[in-house]
Amino acid sequence: MLIADPKRSCVGEGCRLTLDIMPCGEAWCGVEVKDGKQCGRTALRLVAGLPSRAGAEFSGRYEKSDGSEPYVVNARLSLHSQKDLPNGELLLSVWGHTGGTFQAFRRIYPLRLVLRREGEPACRGEPNVS
Q: List, for residues 6-16, the tens digit of each pLDDT value.
A: 555 555 554 56
Predicted confidence at residue 59, as pLDDT, reads 93
pLDDT for 129 equals 46
Task: Look up the pTM and report it.
Answer: 0.76
**What pLDDT shows up at residue 42?**
92
- The CA distance from 16 to 10, in Å, is 9
Q: 39-59 burial string, b = 16+ CB within 10 Å, else e?
A: eeebbbbbeeeeeeeebebbb
Q: How far apart are CA 72 and CA 87, in angstroms?
A: 30
Q: Which residues have CB under 8 Å from 123's CB, separation 6+?
A: 20, 22, 31, 33, 39
Q: Going residue by residue through the chain, which has 130 residues, state the pLDDT in tens, using 9 for 90 and above.
A: 556 655 555 555 545 688 898 888 889 999 998 876 789 999 999 999 877 777 789 999 999 888 888 899 999 888 765 555 555 677 888 998 888 777 777 777 788 888 887 777 778 765 544 4
Residue 2: what residue type?
L
Closest by alpha carbon to 52, among 108, 20, 93?
93
Give φ, ψ of 14 to 5 degrees: -60, -20
Q: What is the pLDDT of residues 109-118, one digit of tens each?
A: 788 888 887 7
The predicted structure's pLDDT at residue 118: 78
- pLDDT, position 65: 84
